[in-house]
Amino acid sequence: MKEELLNRFLTYVSHNTRSNPDSQTTPSTQSQVDFALTVLKPEMEKIGLVNVHYLESNGYIVGTLPANSSDFKYKIGFIAHIDTADFNAEGVKPQIIENYDGTAIALGESGYTLDPVEFPNLANYLGQTLITTDGTTLLGSDDKSGIAEIMTAMAYLQAHPEIPHGEIRVGFGPDEEIGIGADKFDVADFDVDFAYTVDGGPLGELQYETFSAAAAQVTFLGRNVHPGTAKGSMINALQLAIDFHEKLPASDRPELTEGYEGFYHLMDLSGNVEESHSSYIIRDFDATIFEERKALMLALAKEMNDQLGSERVLVELKDQYYNMRQVIEKDMTPVHLAKVVMEDLAIEPVIEPIRGGTDGSKISFMGIPTPNIFAGGENMHGRFEFVSLETMLQAVQVIVGIASFDLTRVEK
């Protein structure tokens, strides 16, 4: 299984499936469509999945492993995303480092090194097989590790009919990295009782809490006059943007927060004296505080407009996703199931909130509770990305364990 998993992963990362936030299509890039139809679809059919179909409405490729036992009264799904993040993904040339000895790893001839002084997480992988980049691209472990693990688990179950399991659905979708991949997810087509995204990081991650998220676009309208005669007349839109930002809590910034602490993140500031624009993302785990954060943005705009005597600060808010805990905590079965399976495999579950979001955030609110489990990637989204083959293999074992688990052992 280990060699099969490695070969599958290396094949997947050789395909550039980077998403494009400026695209108006679904999926956002043709390369994701091609990967689904020319790589995944024939392989899904080859390993014995049935009803393999591509949904043009949302870019998902979906298949089913039929139940081989009538004892299972529930259907489970496993989901991973096809796209990779906004870093060079063309010409990925992975390096295989066997029996890692704890020293710095030269990333090809790029001049970059994966150094344990800078990346102390490398110390967790002594003696293991690491897959790294050559320093010129990302690796694509996020989330081709997840795809390879799900596919390998399904192939294993199909090859071992003595392992009883219920009906299993798998789905591989686009555009997670640009935050829109699950917007058109077809719950009725997927048709499971609960699911898992296999999209986490290091060994043992099991997550059912995410930020609630919103985006804020703030427009500042100024009045430009000659600076020599500006007193009492000029309204500098750039200064308005600075003043607005300074009114936000200084400690509520990503670089100053951790754990369950939320933030306002200024993503972009552009413009001139006449008009300027600020883009923010707003994040919090607590639903009440999340609403208070959005309300503060509106209140600051009103305060400034009252002082200016006209509407010169305009705030547009858009919710992006919500903390999936609000759904999953109503029935913790999928979390408890995954936790017991990991413990059976001597994997310590690491149950922590995700300081971000997953496709599972949106899918949970659509009606399918979908926590997230580890896929193994480290230092994701850049040239220093790597993954342990042993961790990927353990993820396969967890998927197989979940698929074949006696649910009566789990307390709700």
List the catalytic residues. Answer: 83, 176
Q: What is the CA radius of gyration of the chain?
A: 24
Close Cβ partners of 404 (under 8 Å, ≥ 6 residues apart): 157, 163, 164, 165
Q: Is 292 strand, coil or helix?
A: helix
Backbone angles phi, psi at 158, to 5 degrees: -65, -35
The 8-class DSSP code of residue 350 comes to: B
The 8-class DSSP code of residue 223 comes to: B
Q: Packing angle between helix 141-159 and helix 389-403, nearest 10 degrees?
A: 50
The 8-class DSSP code of residue 40 comes to: I
CA pair distance 143, 375, nearest whole angstrom = 8
The 8-class DSSP code of residue 273 comes to: S
Burial 75-86 (b: 16+ CB within 10 A, else e): bbbbbbbbbbbe
Tell me the residue type at 31: S
CA pair distance 261, 126, nearest whole angstrom = 33
CA pair distance 337, 399, nearest whole angstrom = 11
- Angstrom distances, CA of residue 407 to CA of 351, 396, 411: 20, 19, 9
CB-CB contact of 213 with 321 (8 Å): yes
Tokens 């209140």 sit at which residue?
299
Q: What do you get for the CA distance between the two ends of the chain, in Å?
A: 33
Q: Packing angle between helix 389-403 and helix 2-13, nearest 10 degrees?
A: 110
